Structure 1
Amino acid sequence: MTGSEESPSFRLAYVPGVTPAKWARIWNERLPDIPLTLVQVPAAEAQDVLRAGEADAGLVRLPVDRTFFSAIPLYTETTVVVVPKDHLITAVDEVTLADLADEVLFHPLDDVFDWDRPPGEPAFERPATTPDAIELVAANVGLLVVPQSLARLYHRRDLTYRPVTDAPQSSVALSWPEEATTDLVEDFIGIVRGRTVNSTRGRTRPAAEQEQKPSEPKGARQKPAPKGAGRTARARAAGGGTRTAGSKQAPKRGKPRRRS
């Protein structure tokens, strides 16, 4: 747990393209007394931030060092190529890497893909960041292959994108140092996995939420009283008795017969 015992808090790192707003909202609803601090970090620096203890957990791009970190994969993104709106590629719904072979493709220094060999023709230089590469695409200097979330994040009116069907993909995961799996980390794990507030997994719920009515012992439920039992009990209370096996029943009185 971060912070003091009297004033705990939770710091969540996240990389560009990831939107933690939904999970942050659920956190604030469930744990209003524990502040959640969001820390945006470059994708390449996310693991260093977590190693240094500057965040308790992070929404990061895989892969991570699994000898040090635990990770829960959340989703895998579609890969797209960002192009000017008047580019020929906009005439089709999707492309392949072979379609980009003759295009100049930027490979920024913060590229999230681990290419064996970047596709397309190499640019005259590597932009420092993805936003820098986006600016060059807008200048009609080349194209850029990125996860779809980054194309949306750095959207410009003069640019658009198309899916690249056979390109590598980027997966996003919740990750944290395995030896620092705190109660608050467990709380956030429950949120991203969609557990309800009353889930029995993860942290122990407060005692007030655990109180339940004691269950009846097996077989202790009483059978419903037979029909007429209530009238018999009232008759006894009034001083009357019930007929036993040996008692005679008074003859029934019928209507008198009419004389002829």
Structure 2
Amino acid sequence: MTGSEVSPSFRLAYVPGVTPTKWVRIWNERLPDIPLTLVAVSAAEAFDVLRGGGADAGFVRLPVDRTDLSAIPLYTETTVVVVPKDHVVAAVDAVSAEDLADDIVLHPLDDTLAWERLPGRPANERPATTADAVEVVAAGVGVLVVPQSLARLHHRKDLTYRPVTDAPESRVALSWPEDATTDLVEDFIGIVRGRTVNSSRGRTPTPAQPKRKRPDTGGGPRQKSAAGKTAGKSPRSGSGGSKGGKRGKPRRRS
């Protein structure tokens, strides 16, 4: 390898709440010689990282600008409200946005939900991050509506969460720059889509091995003699007469 050549590698960005462990494990099993590096990014900066070449692909939250980025939607998350454990919401299985009308609903600057109208009463100021908003909820000031994965990510023993049945949902997708759909990106797409290692759209399939010729065991049709006649039977064998002889006419008795 010359000094100008660079060993292949794959950089995978991911936003908070996404757990890429399963896909990374499959990558390491299939491509052990190509290291995969994880790049943690915020939801807001994920697209700039992809466009700037800071990652080859990334798990992001929709919507994605399809002008220069490709995306494959993967799954939709349940939306939940994070509340103190002694909050009235903790006593029910699920709530609606209307049930939060009397609560201060925090709206962090990195919110990933596309609200037409935020439920509840607004706070005096918006927390900078979801993590900051969780701390405010723990202090007993307001509640927070987020995708369930973020509630799990910022879990605290003094907080709990419940589904919000009519809140906007967050969708997670795999995205990459459209003009940089490399072979390694195709490999990772195949892994995410669940393709097998020999899939025609994944890495180059393992070539099929030629079939071996079955050895001649002698148990097939009768072998022919060198003269091309079937062996084991005289070409003019009769029903017991001498070789080449003919039966004469029977003599008349006197």
TM (norm. structure 1) is 0.82
Q: Does 1:194 align with 2:194?
A: yes
Q: Secondary structure at the match of 2:112?
A: coil
- Structure 1 stretches (4+) deviating beyond 3 angstroms? none
1:220-235 equivalent positions in 2, closer than 5 A: 225=220, 229=222
Asked if residue 103 in structure 1 is aligned to residue 103 in structure 2, the reply is yes
Give the total of aligned pairs.
229
For the residues of structure 2 that align with 1:192 and 1:52, how far apart are their CA atoms? 23
1:247 aligns with 2:244: no
CA distance in 2, matches of 1:215, 1:74: 44
Q: Distance in 2 between matches of 1:180 and 1:67?
A: 13
Distance 1:158 1:242, change over 3 A: same
Structure 1 segment 29-108 matched on structure 2, within 5 A: 29-108=29-108
Aligned residue in 2 for 1:172:
172
Name the residue aligned to 2:114: 114
Report the Cα distance in structure 2 between the residues aligned to 1:63 and 1:124, rounded to whole angstroms. 28
The equivalent of 2:8 in structure 1 is 8
> What SS does the aligned partner of 2:86 have?
coil
Partner of 2:251: none
Query: Which of 200, 209, 213 lines up with 1:212 in the alignment?
Result: 209
Instruction: Using the TM superposition, give the Cα deviation of residue 241 of structure 1 relative to its aligned residue in structure 2, in angstroms.
Output: 4.1
Task: List runs of 5+ in structure 1 lacking aligned partners.
Answer: 217-223, 252-260
Q: How far apart, in 2, do the equivalents of 1:89 and 1:28 lie?
A: 43
Cα separation, 2, equivalents of 1:181 and 1:215: 39
Secondary structure at 1:176's aligned position in 2?
Answer: strand
- Which SS does the other structure have where 2:38 is aligned? strand
- Report the Cα distance in structure 1 between the residues aligned to 2:84 and 2:168, rounded to whole angstroms: 22
Cα distance in 1 for residues equivalent to 2:94 and 2:203: 45
Distance 1:155 1:241 in 2: 88
Question: 3-state DSSP class of the match of 1:187?
Answer: helix
Q: Aligned partners of 1:116 and 1:158: how far apart in 2? A: 30
Q: Distance in 2 between matches of 1:171 and 1:18?
A: 11
Percent of matched pairs sharing the same residue: 72
Structure 1 counterpart of 2:107, one-letter code: H
Does residue 147 of structure 2 align to residue 147 of structure 1? yes
Larger of the two Rg values belongs to structure:
2
Question: Per-residue CA shift, 1:1-49, capped at 9, x if unaligned?
Answer: xxx7440111110000000111111111111111111000000110011
Partner Cα distance (1:197, 1:13) in 2? 23
Q: How does 1:129-148 map to 2 (within 5 A)?
A: 129-148=129-148
Name the SS for the 1:43 alignment partner.
coil
Asked if 1 retains the 8 angstrom alpha-carbon contact of 2:195 and 2:202, the reply is no
The alignment's TM-score, normalised by the length of structure 2, stands at: 0.84
RMSD: 2.2
Q: 2:12·2:57 contact (CA, 8 Å) conserved in 1? A: yes
Query: How far 1:103 moved relative to its partner?
Result: 1.0
What secondary structure sits across from 1:121 in the alignment?
coil
More helix by share: 1
Distance in 2 of aligned mates of 1:105 and 1:203? 48
State the alpha-carbon separation in 1 of the partners of residues 31 and 40 from structure 2: 21
